[in-house]
Structure 1
């Protein structure tokens, strides 16, 4: 399977749907995966790429299958580093992923290819924001290629901790719920994150209208519908224990919040990217912390009210967190609607 190796020696595994028939006027959609569920999560959307004039490239982050592991020193920073060290390792991940995208542009995109859209799903948005924030630290040729080719940025279903936003009082997730025994956390979280939730009126942006436990009993959580071989093809349970899970803890909130300030709300960073369109999408049946994260970023964008820092927001009616698996046609339609 394909890999791309940076000059530093860091290697990234990726999947590639290939050039659409005809080879003209298509968009390359680069997707960064989330916690536990790696590039295999998107295997149902890749077959739909060509008919939608897309080339879908899904990268495995470090520690996930086919990509470089972290050193013990790097893993220690995720687990117990200072704020400055945490900020530094986030910056490095952003630079590495930016160089990966630049390598994809140089090696895969032909002269007739259209633009590039950068997308991350779920917790992977931490790394997309790192990538965006890194633009001014990159070599001049890389900056020029990225700003010329990248036309769209899509924040797809990010939870609130991605933005350094702490849980509001009275709200918990399985990881912070004191009633859940450690041995039961994995299965409980998998059921919870893939359920369909019956939130109340989301138009109010009232946190009291968000539910932690009220789910639609008529719809199985996605995890319950997966065959063992399907689950194996899209998950790796080792990396989260090494570093992913640390990113969701309050100790990372400060560095993540500062990263958002730079990636989304710094005019110089937006300008360096060539002013791509930015979208934020979430489903109305997702876990509460994903809806809440959307509300927070939307309120910030509206308060700034700057065309140069505009973020477009859209909700996906009835979608749970695994739209790319449950309804890949709808997922592709929603993502394609974000392309300019």
Structure 2
């Protein structure tokens, strides 16, 4: 089982596409979002056999190998085969102060940074790594970036020398500290029973949304919220319920993840976004690496509201070199890696090339 344990005894499961045929390859270090995880391995009682349950990036792994890349997709804490949160940590998610929650999220960023540093050394990864936070996972990769100044000089040096880019792959506005106008999301729908909300969310978040003119920033009349029409298609329309169940774990939502999309975490998340993306010390410690924001026009409305917010912040920052480079993915849903893994790999490749290339 691919497991890495840090010096602090935090264990992470990861899905690994394996070593490509060339030596100078790119490694994509991916952190998953809400409910949909990177996979798991379940052992039988006698520990003599196990079954591999696929994760949401499973279709992308062989494509990466065919393109001479490597994907290492991490299961966050509380997800299968990674270390659960302690009762004290779960209490902070539920009712901690801003200071406690900030320490918790930055601590998770530190764990992930040390995980990546450990994998760089143990797997002899070439110094061409791209960090990707997909969906809710983005706040954890931003916490990785923000935590760099708290790491030892040797760890800083290895990460700075190895990591070339970071991609925010469709982060929802809810996890970036954005104050939002009223908008539908099943996880916050009080008209649904609490035990039904995760099931509705799992289907809703994967739909192909039909938005209007998204260049009209903050114009909610252009937004399809997905709460009044069941005729939208989904990448999982041809996926059996049994296979879909292997891609998801709904239990962490109520324990920790749902709090990260609630207004009570807003101030903490906004401060982490600033420290990761706009703080000059943080950016210089990472040697000013490129940060991309990638979004498909068929993704959920929360993703596009995040795009509007981040574009506003970049304009307000007014730096000579933009803190974020924005890329669009026409026709793509939130689960592009599942419905078109070849197309998704080519898009990630395009963002990995020098900035003179058009993504």
What TM-score comes out, normalization by structure 1 length? 0.94
**Structure with greater proportional helix content:** 1
Provide the C-alpha distance between the structure 1 equivalents of 2:26 and 2:229, rounded to a whole number of angstroms: 36
Q: Which residue of 2 aligns with 1:172?
A: 184
Q: How does 1:120-135 map to 2 (within 5 A)?
A: 120-135=133-148
Structure 1 stretch 216-225 or stretch 100-109: which is displaced more?
216-225
1:321 aligns with 2:334: yes
In structure 1, which of residues 195, 198, 204 is the aligned counterpart of residue 207 of structure 2? 195
Q: 1:49, 1:216 → 2: CA distance?
A: 35
Give 1:326 shift: 0.9
Q: Residues 234 and 16 (structure 1 numbering): CA distance in 2 closer, same or farther, change over 3 Å?
A: same
Please, which moves more after superposition, 233-242 or 90-99?
Answer: 233-242
* Count of matched residue positions in the alignment of Structure 1 and Structure 2: 336
Matched, 1:163 2:176: yes
- Which residue number corresponds to residue 98 of structure 1? 113
Matched, 1:19 2:25: no
Q: TM-score with structure 2 length normalisation?
A: 0.89
Identify the residue that residue 57 of structure 2 maps to in structure 1: 42
> 1:263-282 residue pairs with structure 2 within 5 A?
263-282=276-295
For residues 35 and 297 of structure 2, what CA distance do their matches in structure 1 show? Answer: 23
Alignment of 1:1-340 (within 5 A): 1-21=1-21, 23-39=22-38, 40-110=55-125, 113-168=126-181, 170-205=182-217, 206-213=219-226, 220-340=233-353
Change beyond 3 A, Cα 1:74–1:167 = same
Q: CA RMSD in A?
A: 1.7
**C-alpha spacing 1:182/1:224, structure 2 compared with 1 (3 Å):** farther
Residue 215 of structure 1 deviates from its aligned partner by 8.1
For 2:80 and 2:230, locate their aligned partners in 1 and report how far apart those are by CA, in whole Å. 34
**Unpaired segments of 5 or more residues in structure 2?**
39-54, 354-359
Distance in 1, Cα, partners of 2:91 & 2:236: 31
Q: Residue by residue, what CA displacement relative to the aligned partner does 1:130-155 show, whole Å, maximum 9, x if unpaired?
A: 10000000011000000001001000
Q: Deviations over 1:224-259 (max 9, x none)?
A: 432234223321121112111111110000100001
Once the two structures are TM-superposed, the CA of residue 275 in structure 1 deviates from its matched residue by 1.3
Q: Which runs of 4+ in 1 moved over 4 A?
A: 214-219
Contact 2:32–2:135 (Cα < 8 Å) also in 1 = yes
State the Cα deviation string for residues 105-125 of structure 1 (Å, max 9, x = none): 111125xx2400000110000
